[in-house]
Amino acid sequence: MKPDIQLRDSLDADCEAIQAIYAYHVLHGTASFEIIPPTLEEIRQRRSDVVNKSLPYIVAERDGEVVGYSYATMYRARPAYRFTVENSVYVKEGLAGEGIGSKLLLALIDRCTKSGFRQMIAVIGDSSPASVALHKRHGFEQVGLFRSVGFKAGAWRDTAMLQLELGAGNRVPPETP
């Protein structure tokens, strides 16, 4: 039996593991449209940008090893989008199908809902079937598909857009203007 997965807020010390997980996906997958993996310093800066905006950045840990991570960013910078976040979820290579992505996504949804966000967007490179399935299992609906918007690994790649209503969604106006 595999040890349980523990979720916690990320720390700066987790950035090496986060960078390694993401670098694998950049180099060997098509769900990210980056071509060159960001450096450790870039990952540190990206994480800092997220946590400095009081947005969640969560890691999954098994036996003291970071095996996945998730975070939310603002969907767009313009003020009208301030109640909408975009999510990212990555799991260490070889551990797909173990429920790590589900735990990370559910925790992210919970934290963003409690923070008052009303919509969560998933922008999924190459319309990754595993990522689309993960999001649909947790209530996301596919709301769009951008065809051939990325070129990676010698082929044109689509981007799937999925959306999840959080909390009261659009049924009532937010409490703050």
Residues in the chain: 177
Mean pLDDT calculated for residue range 110-115 = 98
Q: Is the Cα torsion angle 42, 46, 47, 51 positive or negative in sign?
A: positive
Give the pLDDT score at 56. 98
Mean pLDDT calculated for residue range 105-129 = 97
Domain ranges of the chain: 6-165
Percent of residues, the chain, with pLDDT higher than 90: 96
* Two tokens, residue 81: 């989008």
Please determine, for residue 25, whether its predicted confidence score (pLDDT) is greater than 90: yes
CATH class, range 6-165: alpha beta
Q: Which of 95-104, 152-161, 168-177 shows the lowest per-residue confidence on average (mean pLDDT)?
A: 168-177
User: pTM of the full predicted structure?
Assistant: 0.96
Round to whole Å and give the CA distance between 163 and 159.
13
Mean pLDDT calculated for residue range 94-107 = 96
Residue 47 φ then ψ, to 5°: -60, -45
Give the pLDDT score at 1. 60
Q: Which residues contact 42 (CB under 8 A, 6 or more apart)?
A: none
Please determine, for residue 32, whether its predicted confidence score (pLDDT) is greater than 70: yes
Q: Of all helices (H) and strands (E), which one includes residue 149? A: strand 141-152
Give the pLDDT score at 177. 61
Give the pLDDT score at 176. 72
Please calculate the CA angle 172-173-174 and round it to the nearest 5 degrees.
115
Nearest partner of 14 among 73, 80, 55, 58, judged by Cα: 58
Please determine, for residue 147, whether its predicted confidence score (pLDDT) is greater than 70: yes
